[in-house]
Amino acid sequence: MKRLLLTSFDIWLPHHKSNSSDDLLEEVTRLGALSHALTLVQKLPVDVKGAVDQVIAKIRETQPDYIICCGMAESRSRLSVESNARSTPAFTNCSMSMLPSDYQESTLHTSVNLEELVAPCQATEISHDCGKFVCEGLYYSVLDYLHSSSFKSSCIFIHVPVLTESNIRVVVDDFLLVIDRLALSER
């Protein structure tokens, strides 16, 4: 049985009552619809270093086959599976002037075939812009860690729209389908 690690973030703005990434994991847990070996790390701090430290510690502890990091995307209406993450000054908490003169932004891509993964989904798209915020910082850092470690895990990042009565069913169904497709994949 494949082991999956799922992560979500806490709220970060005063008007937020909840974070849709955490709401989605709560709904998946409530439904109890999955028979896969899932480990959840919920309400990660909205801070790159704090989030990365917690996720990498859990990767070391559980050695999952797949990691699905989730974050909230208020401006999106569908699940967005991110194809890549960039190392940007925005998530290193420094300005361009503080970087070495030879600084080069780098991009890391997931090893998961996203086109195949989301093909049967109804409300899921592939995105090539992770957002230059804590989501991208976490995704880049986890991909970088996996590339430099002996773990054979694969990671994807999913941005979750605000969940409403009109979209919750299709968003949850697509998310469960993504989990199933990863868990049942030949790897």
CATH top class, domain 3-183: alpha beta
CB 67 within 8 A of CB 112: no
The pLDDT of residue 46 is 94
The pLDDT of residue 1 is 81
Q: What is the mean pLDDT of residues 167-175?
A: 97
pLDDT, mean over the chain: 90
The pLDDT of residue 105 is 82
Q: What is the pTM of this model?
A: 0.92
The pLDDT of residue 94 is 46
Angle at CA 166, nearest 5°, toward 10 and 72? 20
The pLDDT of residue 89 is 62
CB burial of 135-172 (b: ≥16 within 10 Å; e: otherwise) equals bbbbbbbbbebbeeeebebbbbbbbbbbbeeeebeebb
Instruction: Compute the distance between CA of residue 155 and CA of residue 6 in angstroms, rounded to an integer.
Output: 10
Helix (H) or strand (E) holding 67: strand 66-72
Instruction: Compute the distance between CA of residue 118 and CA of residue 103 in angstroms, rounded to an integer.
Output: 35
